[in-house]
Amino acid sequence: AQKVTQAQTEISVVEKEDVTLDCVYETRDTTYYLFWYKQPPSGELVFLIRRNSFDEQNEISGRYSWNFQKSTSSFNFTITASQVVDSAVYFCALKRGANNLFFGTGTRLTVIP
């Protein structure tokens, strides 16, 4: 069985604040992949990052950073100095082997100017 939990349904922050989106996953597989996607109001899912289960290095890309901790089965996403353009629904997803993506329910982020 697999499960992806994004407990935060909605988050609102004021522009320039930092915000962390939580993702907790469940899987019995030792090899798996984790993803984050952004879905702006236009509706298209935009790929942000892919991480495999053997690579626990944190990653930073501009204002975005990701913290992967196998010990707590978490793959959290932090946006530093948030901007209005960051307003979107963010999805965490799990892929086991050749199986397809299993998405969480998403977190709606609103950045208030």
Q: Least distance to another protein from the beta carbon of 46, Å?
A: 8
Q: Least distance to another protein from the beta carbon of 81, Å?
A: 27
Residues 18-37 that bind another protein (CB under 8 A): 35, 37
The yes or no reply on residue 61 touching another protein (CB under 8 A) is no
Q: Least distance to another protein from the beta carbon of 108, Å?
A: 9
Q: Are 95 and 106 in contact (CB under 8 A)?
A: no
The yes or no reply on residue 93 touching another protein (CB under 8 A) is yes
- C-alpha to C-alpha distance for 11 and 14, rounded to whole angstroms: 10
The yes or no reply on residue 82 touching another protein (CB under 8 A) is no
Q: Are 37 and 48 in contact (CB under 8 A)?
A: yes
For residue 83, the number of C-alpha atoms closer than 13 Å in the C-beta half-sphere is 4
The full 3-state SS of 47-85, as one line of letters, equals EEEEEECCCCCCEEECCEEEEEEHHHCEEEEEECCCCHH
The yes or no reply on residue 54 touching another protein (CB under 8 A) is no
Site residues for another protein per CB under 8 A: 4, 35, 37, 42-47, 50, 91, 93, 95, 100-101, 103-106
